[in-house]
Amino acid sequence: MAPDLDTLSRQIIQAANDMPRYMVALAGPPGAGKSYRSEQLCAAINRKRPGQAGVVPMDGYHFDNAVLGEAQLPLKGAPHTFDVDGLHDDLERIRRADRPVAVPVFDRPLDLARAGGRLITLEQRIVIIEGNYLLLDRPVWRDLHALFDWTLMLEVDDDVLVKRLVARWLAMGQDRAGALERTHQKDMLNAQLVKTSSLPPDQRWR
């Protein structure tokens, strides 16, 4: 049975105990609700342990459009369009727990990452990292796994993902044909990669 939010937050708090840093990876395909669920989980932990949880979004490590160039821009969101080395370095700094660490955040309406958009403080000893490819069993990406104390995978049926992704593209100004094309020719391809090529998580969450 999938854990509820209260149970999951208590489980993480207990596992973290008095550790100076406890890092939780929350992975899942595009449209699975990673941002929403990670903020929910963070808030649930902070209700029980005020100020002790924070969130690092993987999307902040998107390469800028100018770096990707016109040829690669349609593929933005695929594994090779992220600065995974930068993510790895920042997570190592966070794990050391010896000073605050600024991390970038992705501004979806502007389609760009904002450097230093969020600060992970020393008080935030439970850090939730959320993103599509955190458990991807591919070179470079799999090196992240050693930095996590506990891993979660969001499981969402494909038909639900499609509905959410189409709605997301429509909300961003795409017409229906464009929203369907981007959903099926980009997002759902990445979703299948996450579902079929990720390392087994410690727990699955529906």
Q: Does residue 94 lie within any of the structural domains?
A: yes
Q: Does residue 169 lie within any of the structural domains?
A: no
Token output for 159: 């038909």
Q: Does residue 69 lie within any of the structural domains?
A: yes
Q: Does residue 170 lie within any of the structural domains?
A: no
- Smallest CA-to-CA distance from 76 within 197, 176, 192, 185 is with 185
75-113 residue pLDDT tens: 999 999 999 999 999 999 999 999 999 999 999 888 899
Q: What is the pLDDT of residue 2?
A: 66
Q: In percent, how much of the chain has pLDDT > 70?
A: 99
Q: Does residue 165 lie within any of the structural domains?
A: no
- For the chain, the domain total comes to 1
Q: What is the distance between the alpha carbons of residues 111 and 188, in angstroms, rounded to a whole number?
A: 19
Token output for 69: 């160039």
Does the pLDDT of residue 1 top 60, yes or no?
Answer: no
Q: Does residue 163 lie within any of the structural domains?
A: no
Mean pLDDT score across all residues of the chain? 96
The mean per-residue pLDDT over the stretch 63-76 comes to 92
Q: What is the pLDDT of residue 108?
A: 84
Q: Does residue 32 lie within any of the structural domains?
A: yes
Q: Does residue 131 lie within any of the structural domains?
A: yes
List the domain range (segments joined by +) for residue 49.
5-157+199-205
Q: What is the distance between the alpha carbons of residues 100 and 35, in angstroms, rounded to a whole number?
A: 22
CA 11, 14, 15, 21 torsion: positive or negative?
positive
- For 47, counting Cβ atoms within 10 Å of its Cβ (0-12 exposed, 13-18 middle, 19+ buried), the class is exposed
Task: Kindly report the CATH number assigned to the domain that includes residue 69.
Answer: 3.40.50.300
pTM: 0.95
Which band of pLDDT confidence, cut at 50, 70 and 90, is reported for residue 147? very high
**160 against 18, higher pLDDT:** 160
Which band of pLDDT confidence, cut at 50, 70 and 90, is reported for residue 16? very high
